[in-house]
Structure 1
Amino acid sequence: MTAENVPAEPRHPEPLLRAEGLRKVFGRRVVLDGLDLEVAEGECVVLIGGSGSGKSTLLRCLNLLEELDDGRILLAGEDISDPRIDADRVRARIGIVFQAFNLFPHLSVLDNVTLAPIRVHRVPPVKAREEARAMLQRVGLAEQAGQWPDQLSGGQQQRAAIARALVNRPMMILLDEVTSALDPELVGEVLTLLRRLRDDGTTMVIATHEMDFARQVADKVCFLHDGRILEQGPPDMIFTEPREQRTREFLARMIMPS
């Protein structure tokens, strides 16, 4: 076989994370209804869908903040949905960032970022601070390390929250509507950071209403409806040639005509 005939290796071969048949019920309401998802190492997967479609609940289940009613989650081949699993160990491998920054107001930015490494993961304080400063440098907040959260803009606070999630060097990071609590003029700086993380090969699953961002950054877009992934594929396919009527209706509402 000549070099020209050798098939190219796929960019994202084996899944780093595999969710199979996830089911989550709150009272009589089925929020996740047999949902399947695969995320490969280095892949940026963007979740879109209306309110109540299951995006946030899916991320919380992947991070073990919600207990599944059925299904399983495999991370690098390990069943992390096993009830006997150490949830703190899993959360060190799967970081999560919410739309609310959840920074401790009585701690400096640096202390917010070092809290979990020192208290939970028993990283020596000197090493934890060194790694935290490097991470703050990466997200453009090196000069704000000693400031209090209320001295930062909303965009800076969200970048600090992302630094806190990344400082443990997780295998992947989950982001739940991280720009929805920001003023419009601050959204861009957070999206720019996420683009940079994506270009650096950070594995991410992002729930967002920012359709332009999803189209530009995602390797794969998943449209959620009624607790299932109704349609998924490359951004160009989802945004220009969606197969499902529900997807077309959702995008027609979300994307204003130019």
Structure 2
Amino acid sequence: MSLLTIEGVWKHYHHHSVLRGIDLEVAPHEVVCLIGASGSGKSTLLRCVNLLETIDDGAIYLDGAEITDVRADADQVRGRVGMVFQSYNLFPHMTVLDNITLAPRKVRKVSRARAEEQAGELLARFGLSDKARAYPDRLSGGQQQRVAIIRALATQPRLLLLDEVTSALDPTLVTEVLGVIRELKDSGMTMILATHEMSFARDIADTVCFLEGGVLLEHGPPEQIFTAPEHPRTREFLQRVLEAGRL
């Protein structure tokens, strides 16, 4: 049984269709990478899965239950579907520890003591134990993004969404964040990543999806998509990526 099922999802902005009938299934422990040019619909699709955007047609199911039903509790869904943004989105007035423990305490009603214990375990796991009492502006970009990933993990989500999480980083910091994502894959976390890091997508993904103009034109194993794509638009996109030295 699929962990996540996306059926015929459409999303419109001011008469412009940003997503056009997206169908996708994600199995437990699978890593799916969304690739495509800016504006192809990758980020919008992630935001629809996390209910940050409402869809105009279709349905999204998590563990067999429709989360796009109007009766679904969005906060409960977001407790099971973690999301990490390109720009970190940490609360600047809160310490790292408070950023991480806020959702478990408010959404899952975990006690402060237990939430801090779990946060401490996650910080240790990703090499940030000494940053628990620091404020975000005292951290490097790579450290802030690692904290954002930890914050998303703190609710023990079934699914983790990552939206271009390395694009705002200095190139020297990209490796440390990609290392965290690799560790999460090794631990069995189910993830959907929107990324421009083609080499990383080829290395880490179980399934690669190519989007253009809000349409999922092609998807399959990385070796198929990157070495023998079937759709001419996929071939054209990857040729541009290759010429730019990104693959």
User: Shorter-normalised TM-score: what interval?
Assistant: over 0.9
* Partner secondary structure for residue 15 of structure 1: coil
The residue correspondences of 1:47-66 to structure 2 (distance < 5 A) are: 47-66=34-53
Q: Which runs of 5+ in 2 are unaligned?
A: none
Q: Aligned residue for 2:219?
A: 232
The answer (yes or no) to whether the contact 1:221–1:238 under 8 Å persists in 2 is: yes
Within the candidate set 112, 135, 138, 1:151 is matched to: 138
**Deviations, residues 106-149 of structure 1 (Å, cap 9, x unaligned):** 11111110111112322110001001111111222111111111
The answer (yes or no) to whether the contact 1:211–1:255 under 8 Å persists in 2 is: no
Matched, 1:117 2:78: no
The answer (yes or no) to whether the contact 2:79–2:107 under 8 Å persists in 1 is: no
Q: Aligned residue for 2:116?
A: 129
Within the candidate set 24, 35, 47, 1:37 is matched to: 24
The residue correspondences of 1:241-256 to structure 2 (distance < 5 A) are: 241-256=228-243
Matched, 1:210 2:197: yes
* Partner secondary structure for residue 58 of structure 2: strand
Paired-residue identity, %: 59
Q: Which runs of 5+ in 1 are unaligned?
A: 1-13
* Partner secondary structure for residue 3 of structure 2: strand
2-structure distance, mates of 1:255, 1:68: 34
Matched, 1:166 2:161: no
* Partner secondary structure for residue 206 of structure 1: strand
Question: Once the 2 structures are TM-superposed, how far is the Cα of residue 225 of structure 1 from its aligned partner?
Answer: 1.1
Choose 133-142 or 14-23, whichever is displaced more: 133-142
2-structure distance, mates of 1:38, 1:28: 27
Matched, 1:104 2:91: yes
Question: Once the 2 structures are TM-superposed, how far is the Cα of residue 255 of structure 1 from its aligned partner?
Answer: 2.1
The answer (yes or no) to whether the contact 1:118–1:128 under 8 Å persists in 2 is: yes
* Partner secondary structure for residue 78 of structure 2: helix
The answer (yes or no) to whether the contact 2:4–2:63 under 8 Å persists in 1 is: yes
Choose 202-211 or 115-124, whichever is displaced more: 115-124
Question: Once the 2 structures are TM-superposed, how far is the Cα of residue 82 of structure 1 from its aligned partner?
Answer: 0.2
Within the candidate set 21, 28, 33, 2:15 is matched to: 28
Q: Give me the CA root mean square deviation.
A: 1.0
1-structure distance, mates of 2:195, 2:238: 13
Q: Which has the larger radius of gyration?
A: 1
1-structure distance, mates of 2:141, 2:10: 34
Q: Aligned residue for 1:72?
A: 59
Count of aligned residue pairs for this structure pair: 245
Matched, 1:192 2:179: yes
The answer (yes or no) to whether the contact 1:62–1:73 under 8 Å persists in 2 is: yes
Question: Once the 2 structures are TM-superposed, how far is the Cα of residue 254 of structure 1 from its aligned partner?
Answer: 1.2
2-structure distance, mates of 1:138, 1:221: 28
* Partner secondary structure for residue 46 of structure 2: helix
